[in-house]
Structure formats: structure tokens, C-alpha cells
């Protein structure tokens, strides 16, 4: 069963990545140029039809895939890297450092990251891509830090870590050589799942009109599609389908990776 999920996840992600990378060559239309075919239904000329401005939907889906991947991967890298570093230091040293980090994580987790991104959207009036990713990661790291802290707290009590300290290894060396590898697997799984979180956050903001300035966003297409659901249901269907495929593929890969790194989870233990 897990191999089926892994293959499905890889196939879905590969399709989205290929669409994002090869879209300009695969789709003979531009996402920022209108055609004379307004609300054209899917066919040979326009594979996924056009919207109420005459823009090819397939071209917008390809452009939206690039935006979704940039936001998702950017958010995952920043939030997991920050959370791993902060949580690892807190769990390893303990004491006041640990207390401060735990308090900060608890405080940040009281406020969903999407709320901060919404605030940035209101203040910045449709923030840039980098601003949005940083705003999401500014609170998203807390959940990763909590897991990293627990893992580091357990790792520092391991015999090989204690032995390294007794032999005179510096804290930096112990953290880098002995503690970080203990965190790598679980945090890699966290990073995979965080991609889906970033994608959904960007789509939600764009649906509300607060996303980054971009030629096409799946969230903005969903908002447009709801208004055209009776006239051109293919707009809503294409955007919703693309978003579903990417999020489902990433989650399937995350589950498969978790089971590979921790076989007990696959056995229900």
C-alpha cells in the first residue's frame, strides 16, 4: 500500500514540476496575454479553456504552478531551517535557553501563521513573493522548533554524545556531528509536509486578494472561478484540481518518507 502511495505522490509531484518548468514550451499561450476567445470551453485550441478575459487557463495553471512551488519550497526551507536550529540549541543546552524558546514557541503557536500573513497583506497591499514567504516562516518555525527541541533533548543524553563531551569536543562540534544527524530524518519529513502548508497559505491569501503580485495564482483563479462557476466551470475545476494534486502528492511523499525513516509508524506502533 505504501509503495502505491509513494508512486502516486512522485507521479503527482513530477507532473506539477514538469508543468511549472516546461509550461512556456508545452502551452502555446501566455498567462499575461488575453486572446480573442473569451470563455472558450476546453478544446484543441485551448486545452483547459479560457477565462472571462480571454486568458488561456492552461497557461495560468502552469504559471501558478511555478508560484506555488516557489512559495511552498521557500517556506519549508526557511521555517524548518530556523526551527531546527533554534530547537536543537534549546534542547541541547536546556536551562534558561530552553525555557525562553519554549515560551516563545507557545506564544507563536497561539496565533496561526496565516494571521500574520494576512496582516502583512493588509499593510503591504499585496506583498511581494519574498515578503510573503518570510512572513509565513516567521511564525511557522515554532512548530518545527518544538519537535527539534524534544529530539535534541533526547539526543544529548545518548552515550555517544556524552562520550564526545567527555573527550573534549566543543558544543558546536557535538551539535553538528552528533546531534544534528539525529534530527535530520524527522525534520526532513517536517520539511516535506511544510511545502503543502506554504502552498495552501499562498492560495488562501490570493483567494482573499492579499497574495503576492503575480501573473497567475491558483488561489486567485479559485476566486475568479467561483464567480464563473455557471459560465465557465473549467476555471474553478482546473485551479482546484491542480491545487489538490500538488498538496496530495506532497502529503503522500511525506507519509512515505516518515514510514521509511520510522518503520514502526507503518506498523501502527
Closest CA to 178 of 198, 196, 151: 151
- Report the b/e string of 131-143 with b at 16+ CB within 10 A: bbbbbbbbbbbbb
Q: Going from the first residue of the chain to its last (269 residues), give the mean pLDDT of each consecutive group of 10, the final group possibly shorter.
A: 80 95 87 84 89 91 94 96 96 93 90 71 69 86 94 91 89 92 91 94 87 80 91 93 96 88 55
Report the Cα 8 to chain-centroid distance in Å. 18
Tell me the C-alpha distance between 214 and 254, whole Å. 28
At CA 55, angle to CA 51 and CA 56, rounded to 5?
90
What is the set of domains in the chain, with CATH numbers?
2-33+49-266 (1.10.3720.10)
- With contact defined as beta carbons under 8 Å apart, do 92 and 179 qualify? yes
Tell me the C-alpha distance between 102 and 94, whole Å. 10
Residue 20 is predicted with a pLDDT of: 93
Cell of 246: 500538488
Residue 261 is predicted with a pLDDT of: 77
Residue 269 is predicted with a pLDDT of: 42
pTM assigned to the model: 0.89
Amino acid at each position: 500500500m505504501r509503495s502505491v502511495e509513494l508512486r502516486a505522490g512522485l507521479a503527482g509531484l513530477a507532473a506539477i514540476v514538469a508543468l511549472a518548468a516546461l509550461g512556456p514550451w508545452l502551452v502555446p499561450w501566455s498567462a499575461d496575454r488575453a486572446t480573442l476567445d473569451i470563455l472558450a470551453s476546453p478544446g484543441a485550441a485551448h486545452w483547459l479553456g479560457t477565462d472571462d478575459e480571454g486568458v488561456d487557463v492552461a497557461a495560468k495553471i502552469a504559471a501558478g504552478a511555478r508560484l506555488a512551488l516557489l512559495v511552498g519550497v521557500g517556506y519549508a526551507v526557511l521555517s524548518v531551517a530556523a526551527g531546527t536550529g533554534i530547537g536543537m540549541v534549546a534542547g541541547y543546552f536546556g536551562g534558561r535557553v530552553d525555557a525562553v524558546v519554549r515560551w516563545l514557541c507557545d506564544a507563536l503557536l497561539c496565533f496561526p501563521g496565516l494571521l500574520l500573513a494576512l496582516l502583512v497583506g493588509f499593510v503591504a497591499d499585496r506583498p511581494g513573493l519574498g515578503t510573503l514567504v518570510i512572513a509565513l516562516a516567521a511564525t511557522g518555525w515554532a512548530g518545527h522548533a518544538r519537535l527539534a527541541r524534544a529530539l535534541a533533548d533526547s539526543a544529548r543524553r545518548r552515550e555517544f554524545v556524552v562520550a564526545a563531551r567527555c573527550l573534549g569536543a566543543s558544543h558546536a562540534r557535538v551539535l553538528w556531528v552528533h546531534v544534528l544527524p539525529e534530527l535530520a530524518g524527522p525534520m526532513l519529513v517536517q520539511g516535506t509536509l511544510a511545502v503543502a502548508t506554504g502552498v495552501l497559505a499562498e492560495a488562501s491569501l490570493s483567494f482573499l486578494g492579499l497574495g503576492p503580485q503575480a501573473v497567475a495564482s491558483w488561489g486567485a483563479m479559485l476566486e475568479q472561478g467561483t464567480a464563473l462557476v455557471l459560465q465557465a466551470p473549467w476555471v474553478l475545476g482546473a485551479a482546484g484540481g491542480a491545487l489538490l494534486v500538488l498538496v496530495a502528492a506532497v502529503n503522500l511523499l511525506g507519509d512515505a518518507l516518515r514510514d521509511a525513516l520510522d518503520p514502526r509508524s507503518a506498523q501502527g506502533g
